[in-house]
C-alpha cells in the first residue's frame, strides 16, 4: 500500500455524503494535474485531462519538462468547506484555523476515518503545525497502523519536525516491514534534506516491494530525470517498466513515446496496460487523459468506455470521456454520461461538469429543424397561473397557502411589454425576456402570501409555441372584456412596461380597477440589470398600499441580491411548467439542469425563505412528470433537507411528491406515519396526500 493509497476509493465503493455536522466539513479538492514527481504532501499524483474546467477540444500533450519537487504554494487566504447542506463556503484562513478546525478535530477525535479526512484537508490548507496532536491521536484510535503512522509522518514533516517524522517512519518500518510506505516516506525526507542519492536508493528499494507504488514510481522518475536529463530519461522509465507486473511506469513510457512521435509504440502499451490493469483507478485516469488529449477516439472507445464505472472510478476518467463525446459531437452518449457523472460526482466537481450541459444541449437543438417563424397574422394567447408557480407538479397543495375569504379580490399581474432599444450583448436576450415574466410571477406570489387577495400571473404565449414579448401593454379595455362580468368588481389588473435604454431599465406599473373602470395606482423603479432586486422590492413597497397593505411593505427575509436570484428562478421555472403543459415543444427545452441548479442555489442562499425550497421541489416534480432524469441528481440535497425538516413542516409534507421524483420514496415511507400524525386531522392535507401518493 502506498503512502497515501488509503485515500483511494476502493473498487465498488460509492461516494459518501458530506459530513452532516453543524460545523463545516472540509471540501474535497480536485485531483492534481499529473507530473512524474513525488509531491510535498506525499499524495500520489493522478493523471487526467489537461483542463477539465471548459469542454474545449483538448490539445495533444506537450513534452513534459524535467520533474522537480514543486515549491510549497503560499497558503490561500480563504479555506473552502462544505456545510451540512453541501454548500461550499469560503472562510478566512485565520478564522478557519482558530474556530472551525479545532472543533472538527475534537468532534471526530474518536472516528479514525473522519479524523484522517480532517487532518488531510488541514494538510492541504497548509496547517500542519496545528495538526500534530490530532495526528498523534489518530495513531491511538486507528486500527490501520500504516495509515495512522503515514499521516503522522507527513504532518510532522510538513510542520518542520523532520527528525520526528524520521522516527515515525522507522516505527512504521518495524510494524509493517513488508510495506514500501516507510521507504517512500524516508525517501521524501531525504529529498527535503538534499540527500538525493539516499532518496534514489530508498525509492528503488520501495519499487522492489511494489513496482506500482505511485509515490515510489514518481519519486524515482523525479530524481533520475534530474540526474540524466531528457536524453537518458526514456531509459530510466524503461528500467522501472521492466519490473515484473509493472503498469504505472509503462503508462509514463507510453506518454513519452506519444510525445516523441511513436504512437504505434504507445498504442501497444496502452492496450497491454488496460488489458492487464484496467481495474486500477490510476491506470484508467492516466490512459484516458492521454488518449483524449491525443484525440485517439477509436482507442478511447475500445479501452476506456467499456471499463469506466461511475461511482467506482476516479471522476477524471469520466471528465476525459465527456471531452471525448464532445469532440465526437455525440450529444446522446455525452448527455447520458453527464447524468451519471452528476449522480455520483456532482457535489464534488460541479464547476468541472457545469459547461457540458450547454454544449450537449446546443448539439441536440442544432439537429432540430428551425421553429416556424411568427407571421403578421400569428395569434398571441394568454397563459394564466392562478397559483404561485411552485404549485406546479405538487398536486395542488391548498394547505400551503393562507386561506382567503370569499370576497377576496383577484389581482391579475400581466407580463411586461418592452419598449426602447433592445440590442443586447450575446446571451443577454433571454435575461431581458425573463424579467418581463419574473416580475408578474413574483408579485402574484407575494399577493398570495402577504395580502388578503388572490394573485394570478398572466403570461403571453405565441401560437406556434414559446414566449411572446409584447411591444406595448395590453389595452385595459380589451383585458376587462376577458373578465366575467360578475367578477369585475373584485378584479384588479396590473399591467406594465419595461423601457430599455442601453443598460438602463425603467419599469412602470399601473393598477386598474375593473369595477370602477379606471386606474387607481402607479409604481415605478429604474436602474441597471444589476439593480433588479432593488427595483422589485421598490415596486412591491409602492404597490402594496393600493391593495390595502402597509406602506413600505417588504418580504420578511432576504436581501436585494436574493430576491433578484429568486425572481429570476420563478421566470426560469415557468419555462418548465409551460412546457409540461404543452405550451412549448418538449424537444426545444434548453438548460433544464441549469434551471434546477439555479433554483437549488437560490434556495440555499436564503434558507429562511421556505418557498425557495418549494420552488425547487416543484421543478423536480415537473421534470419527473416529463420523464427527465435530472431530479435524481438532486437526491443528496433533497434527502438532507427532508431529514432536517420537522414532521409538521411544509417540506416534510411535500416529501410525498418530491422524494419520489428523486428516487427516494423509501425515505418518505420511513417517516410517513410521523408526518401524517403531526398533520393531525387536517382534511386538506389528507385529501392532498391521497392525490400525491396516487400520482405517478
Name which residue leads in pLDDT, 18 or 79.
Answer: 79
Q: If you average pLDDT over residues 22-42, what whole number do you get?
A: 31
Nearby residues of 459 by Cβ (< 8 Å), 6 or more positions away: 382, 383, 385, 415, 437, 440, 467, 574, 578
Contact 216, 206 (CB under 8 A): yes
For 197-215, write each residue's pLDDT tens digit: 999 999 999 999 999 999 9
Residue 60 pLDDT exceeds 80 = no
Residues in the chain, overall count: 696
Q: pLDDT grade, residue 8 (50/70/90)?
A: very low
Q: Do the strands 78-82 and 410-414 form a parallel or antiparallel pair, or are they unpaired?
A: unpaired
| Domain end (from 152, 177, 202) | 177
Domain assignment present for residue 370? The answer is no
Band (pLDDT 50/70/90 cuts) for residue 86 is low
pLDDT over 90 (residue 380): no
- In angstroms, how far is the first alpha carbon of the chain from the final one? 49
Q: Select from 202, 126, 218, 134 the least CA-distant residue to 170.
A: 202
Higher pLDDT, 477 or 25: 477
Q: What is the mean pLDDT of residues 21-26?
A: 30
Which of 542, 560, 578 represents a domain boundary (last residue)?
Answer: 560
Q: Would you state the pLDDT for residue 425?
A: 53
How far is it, in rounded angstroms, from Cα 88 to Cα 347?
9
- Structural domain for 516, as ranges: 380-560
Q: What is the pLDDT of residues 340-365, one digit of tens each?
A: 999 999 988 999 999 999 999 999 99
* pLDDT score of 47 more than 80: no
Question: Between residues 440 and 9, which one has the greater pLDDT?
Answer: 440
Q: How do beta strands 88-92 and 454-462 pair?
A: unpaired
- Which of these three, 560, 593, 627, is where a domain ends? 560
Q: Is the residue at 539 inside a domain?
A: yes
pLDDT at 48 over 50: no
What confidence score (pLDDT) does residue 33 get?
Answer: 28
- Domain-embedded: residue 498: yes
> Taking Cα atoms as reference points, which of 39, 11, 3, 4 lies closest to residue 277?
11
Contact of 299 with 269, CB cutoff 8 Å = no
Name the residue among 45, 42, 69, 72 with its Cα closest to residue 168. Answer: 42
Those residues whose C-beta lies under 8 Å from the C-beta of residue 377, and which sit 6 or more positions away, are none
Phi, psi of 23 (to 5 degrees): -75, 145
pLDDT recorded at residue 603: 96
pLDDT given at position 427: 53
399 domain residue, yes or no: yes
pLDDT tens digits, residue range 412-426?
A: 999 999 986 555 555
- Are 501 and 421 a contacting pair, CB within 8 Å? yes
Cα angle at 361 between 357 and 365, to 5 degrees?
A: 175
Class of residue 85 by CB neighbours under 10 A (exposed 0-12, middle 13-18, buried 19+): middle
What local confidence, expressed as pLDDT, does residue 426 receive?
54
* Residue 6 domain-assigned (yes or no): no
DSSP string, 25-41: EEPPPPPPPP-SS--TT
What is the Cα–Cα distance from 345 to 455, expressed in whole angstroms? 40
Work out the pLDDT band at 580, boundaries 50, 70, 90. Answer: very high
Residue whose entry in the numeric block shows the C-alpha cell 478546525: 101
SS3 140: helix
Cα–Cα distance between 687 and 684 in angstroms, integer?
5
Kindly give the pairing relationship between strand 417-420 and strand 491-501: parallel
For 170: left if phi > 0, alpha if psi spans -120 to 50, otherwise beta; the answer is: alpha
For 592, counting Cβ atoms within 10 Å of its Cβ (0-12 exposed, 13-18 middle, 19+ buried), the class is buried
Express each pLDDT in 478-525 by its tens digit. Answer: 999 888 888 999 999 999 999 988 888 999 999 999 999 999 999 999
Average pLDDT over residues 388-410: 93
Check residue 421 and give its pLDDT: 56
Q: What is the pLDDT of residues 128-154, one digit of tens each?
A: 999 999 999 999 999 999 999 999 999
Provide the pLDDT confidence category of residue 470 given band limits of 50, 70 and 90.
Answer: confident
pLDDT tens across 183-197, in order? 999 999 999 899 999
Among 41-45, 450-454, 666-670, which stretch is predicted with the lowest mean pLDDT? 41-45
Residues of the chain with pLDDT > 70, as a percent, come to: 87
Q: pLDDT value at position 521?
A: 96
Determine the average pLDDT of the residues in 529-543: 95
pLDDT in tens, 307-318: 999 999 999 999
Q: Which three cell numbers stand for residue 585?
A: 415543444
Dihedral angle, C-alpha 686, 689, 695, 696, nearest 10 °: -160
Are residues 322 and 341 in contact, defined by beta-carbon separation less than 8 angstroms? yes
For 447-463, the pLDDT digits (tens) are 999 999 999 999 998 87
State the DSSP string of 287-329: HHHHHHHTT-HHHIIIIITTT--TTTS-HHHHHHHHHHHHHHT
DSSP at 18: P
pLDDT at 291: 97
Q: Is the pLDDT of residue 538 over 60?
A: yes
Residue closest to 190 by CA, chosen among 232, 210, 219: 219
Decide: 45 and 32 in contact? Cβ < 8 Å.
yes
Alpha helices by DSSP H, 159-213:
162-175, 181-192, 196-209
- Rounded mean pLDDT of the chain? 86
Give 589-647 pLDDT, tens digit per residue: 999 999 999 999 999 999 999 999 999 999 999 999 999 999 999 999 999 999 999 99
Closest C-alpha to 644, from 21, 14, 15: 21
For residue 127, is it within any domain?
yes
**DSSP state at residue 146:** H
**Over 595-636, what HEC string results?**
HHHHHHHHHHHCCCCCHHHHHHHHHHHHHHHCCCCHHHHHHH
pLDDT exceeds 90 at position 320: yes
The percentage of the chain sitting over the pLDDT mark of 90, rounded to a whole number, equals 73
List, as one string, the DSSP characters of 334-388: HHHHHHHHHHHHTTT-HHHHHHHHHHHHHHHHHTSPPPPPP-TT--EEEEEE-S-
474 within domain boundaries: yes
Residues 458, 370: contact at Cβ < 8 Å?
no
Q: Total structural domains in the chain?
A: 2
Q: For residue 440, name the pLDDT band (cuts at 50, 70, 90).
A: very high
Q: How much is the pLDDT for 232?
A: 94
Q: Give a yes or no: residue 394 inside a domain.
A: yes
Q: What is the CATH number of the domain that holds 91?
A: 1.25.40.10
The residue among 43, 32, 31, 39 whose CA lies nearest residue 67 is 39
> Which of 679, 628, 627, 683 lies closest to 654 in space, CA to CA?
679
Amino acid at each position: 500500500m502506498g503512502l497515501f493509497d488509503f485515500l483511494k476509493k476502493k473498487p465498488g465503493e460509492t461516494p459518501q455524503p458530506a459530513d452532516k455536522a453543524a460545523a463545516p466539513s472540509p471540501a474535497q479538492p480536485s485531483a492534481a494535474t499529473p507530473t512524474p514527481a513525488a509531491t510535498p504532501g506525499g499524495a500520489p499524483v493522478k493523471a487526467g485531462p489537461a483542463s477539465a474546467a471548459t469542454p474545449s477540444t483538448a490539445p495533444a500533450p506537450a513534452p513534459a519538462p524535467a520533474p522537480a519537487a514543486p515549491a510549497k504554494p503560499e497558503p490561500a487566504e480563504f479555506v473552502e468547506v462544505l456545510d451540512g447542506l453541501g454548500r461550499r463556503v469560503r472562510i478566512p484562513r485565520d478564522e478557519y484555523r482558530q474556530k472551525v478546525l479545532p472543533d472538527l478535530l475534537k468532534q471526530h477525535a474518536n472516528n479514525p476515518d473522519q479524523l484522517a479526512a480532517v487532518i488531510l484537508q488541514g494538510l492541504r490548507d497548509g496547517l500542519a503545525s496545528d495538526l500534530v496532536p490530532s495526528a498523534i491521536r489518530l495513531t491511538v484510535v486507528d486500527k490501520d497502523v500504516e495509515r495512522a503512522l503515514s499521516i503522522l509522518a507527513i504532518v510532522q514533516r510538513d510542520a518542520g519536525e523532520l527528525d520526528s517524522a524520521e522516527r515515525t517512519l522507522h516505527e512504521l518500518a518495524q510494524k509493517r516491514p513488508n510495506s514500501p510506505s516507510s521507504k517512500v516516506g524516508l525517501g521524501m525526507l531525504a529529498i527535503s534534506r538534499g540527500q538525493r542519492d539516499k532518496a534514489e536508493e530508498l525509492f528503488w528499494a520501495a519499487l522492489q516491494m511494489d513496482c506500482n507504488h505511485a509515490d515510489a514510481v514518481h519519486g524515482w522518475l523525479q530524481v533520475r530525470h534530474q540526474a540524466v536529463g531528457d536524453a537518458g530519461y526514456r531509459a530510466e522509465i524503461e528500467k522501472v517498466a521492466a519490473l515484473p507486473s509493472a503498469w504505472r511506469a509503462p503508462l509514463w513510457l507510453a506518454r513519452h513515446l506519444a510525445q516523441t512521435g511513436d504512437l504505434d509504440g504507445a498504442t501497444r502499451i496502452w492496450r497491454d496496460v488496460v488489458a492487464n490493469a484496467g481495474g486500477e483507478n490510476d491506470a484508467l485516469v492516466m490512459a484516458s487523459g492521454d488518449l483524449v488529449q491525443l484525440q485517439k477516439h477509436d482507442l478511447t472507445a475500445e479501452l476506456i468506455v467499456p471499463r469506466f464505472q461511475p461511482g467506482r472510478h476516479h471522476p477524471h476518467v469520466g471528465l476525459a470521456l465527456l471531452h471525448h463525446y464532445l469532440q465526437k459531437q455525440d450529444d446522446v452518449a455525452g448527455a447520458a454520461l453527464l447524468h451519471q457523472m452528476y449522480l455520483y460526482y456532482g457535489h464534488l466537481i460541479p464547476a468541472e461538469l457545469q459547461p457540458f450541459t450547454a454544449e450537449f444541449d446546443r448539439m441536440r437543438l442544432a439537429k432540430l429543424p428551425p421553429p416556424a417563424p411568427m407571421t403578421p397574422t400569428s395569434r398571441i394567447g394568454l397563459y394564466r397561473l392562478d397559483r404561485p408557480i411552485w404549485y406546479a407538479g405538487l398536486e395542488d397543495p391548498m394547505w400551503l397557502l393562507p386561506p382567503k375569504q370569499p370576497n377576496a379580490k383577484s389581482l391579475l399581474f400581466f407580463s411586461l411589454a418592452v419598449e426602447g432599444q433592445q440590442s443586447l450583448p450575446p446571451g443577454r436576450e433571454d435575461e431581458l425576456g425573463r424579467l418581463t415574466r419574473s416580475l408578474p410571477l413574483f408579485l402574484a406570489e407575494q399577493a398570495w402570501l402577504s395580502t388578503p387577495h388572490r394573485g394570478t400571473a398572466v403570461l403571453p404565449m405565441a401560437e406556434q409555441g414559446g414566449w411572446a414579448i409584447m411591444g406595448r401593454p395590453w389595452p385595459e379595455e380589451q383585458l376587462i372584456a376577458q373578465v366575467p362580468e360578475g367578477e369585475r368588481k373584485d378584479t384588479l389588473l396590473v399591467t406594465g412596461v419595461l423601457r430599455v435604454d442601453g443598460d438602463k431599465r425603467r419599469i412602470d406599473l399601473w393598477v386598474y380597477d375593473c369595477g370602477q373602470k379606471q386606474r387607481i395606482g402607479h409604481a415605478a423603479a429604474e436602474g441597471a440589470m444589476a439593480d433588479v432586486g432593488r427595483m422589485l422590492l421598490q415596486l412591491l413597497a409602492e404597490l402594496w398600499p393600493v391593495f390595502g397593505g402597509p406602506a413600505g411593505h417588504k418580504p420578511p427575509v432576504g436581501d436585494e441580491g436574493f430576491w433578484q436570484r429568486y425572481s429570476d428562478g420563478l421566470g426560469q421555472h415557468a419555462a418548465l411548467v409551460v412546457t409540461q403543459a404543452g405550451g412549448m415543444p418538449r424537444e426545444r427545452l434548453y438548460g433544464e439542469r441549469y434551471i434546477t441548479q439555479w433554483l437549488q442555489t437560490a434556495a440555499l442562499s436564503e434558507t429562511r425563505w421556505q418557498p425557495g425550497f418549494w420552488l425547487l421541489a416543484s421543478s423536480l416534480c415537473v421534470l419527473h412528470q416529463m420523464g427527465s432524469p435530472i431530479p435524481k441528481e438532486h437526491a443528496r440535497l433533497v434527502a438532507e433537507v427532508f431529514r432536517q425538516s420537522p414532521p409538521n413542516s411544509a417540506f416534510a409534507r411535500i416529501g410525498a411528491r418530491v422524494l419520489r421524483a428523486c428516487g427516494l420514496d423509501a425515505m418518505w415511507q420511513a417517516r410517513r406515519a410521523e408526518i401524517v400524525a403531526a398533520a393531525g386531522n387536517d382534511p386538506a392535507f389528507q385529501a392532498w396526500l391521497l392525490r400525491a401518493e396516487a400520482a405517478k
